[in-house]
Amino acid sequence: MRRTPGATAPLVIAHRGASGRAPENTLAAYALAVEQRADMIEIDLHRTRDAAIVVIHDADLRGLGGRGEIADATLEEVRALDAGSGQRVPTLDEVLDRFGEQIAFNLELKSGSRGAYAGLERAAVEAVERRGLLARTLFSSFEDDILERLRDCAPAARIGVLVSRRAPDRWLARARAVAAEAVHLASSLLDAARVERAHAADLSVFVYTVDALAAMRRLIALGVDGLFTNFPDRMRALLDGTERGSPARRRGERRDEA
């Protein structure tokens, strides 16, 4: 269901799950995000050599203690690695089967170092459609060609255009080109004028990645429609009016990435 910009309380979007408290992009992080009353979970999609869709942020496997790229590895090889605390890299099917009925998802479509993964857009859409989840799923990418292919294969797909500090311009034209419903902006790009301009174009404004309470308060005051955060419990407490100041473990805002 399409969100009306500025109409309701901002969404709590768990960035790679509740990744401030559990290993990112794991089933444990997603379960915790649900427990912490996130509204949506953002996850990152790549495709293995044998065409499985796996959920992990980076295109290479070094962060998991492996070698090479996901595009050159089989699902079995990826699953043999430790995603943190004994967790395994999940597949999109696993994630949707376990959590798809409990919470909405933002599926960010990634690419490898050699370019986009062949067929990823259609395969991701089909996985969502098989479970009847298309209306509550948001797809996003930094790459316009990925979003264009996604729109071509799924006219009804909900799309958010990711905008980074490295390419901050033309975000409105990019959103219009793929009939997007949202722009996902780096927190450093946010000001009242951009929020007003997006809302005037009927676009929701989601901001990444925001962990500090002071930053959350500032951005919410600007009228944004949602925040990506590694600490959904922190943002939920802020919205509920039950926050207790700055928690002892504060990460601050992450690098300019989603």
Please give the biggest Cα pair distance in the chain: 48
**Nearest-angstrom CA–CA distance, 78 and 41:** 22
In 3D space, the residue among 88, 18, 104, 22 whose CA is nearest the CA of residue 55 turns out to be: 88
Residues taking part in catalysis: 15, 57
- C-alpha distances (whole Å) from 75 to each of 91, 214, 235 are 9, 41, 35
195 contacts: CB under 8 Å, gap ≥ 6: 205, 222, 223, 224
Residue 134's Cβ-count burial label (10 Å; 0-12, 13-18, 19+) is middle
Distance CA 25, CA 56 (A): 6
Query: Tokens at residue 128, please?
Result: 């969502």
CB contact at 8 A, 207 and 220: no
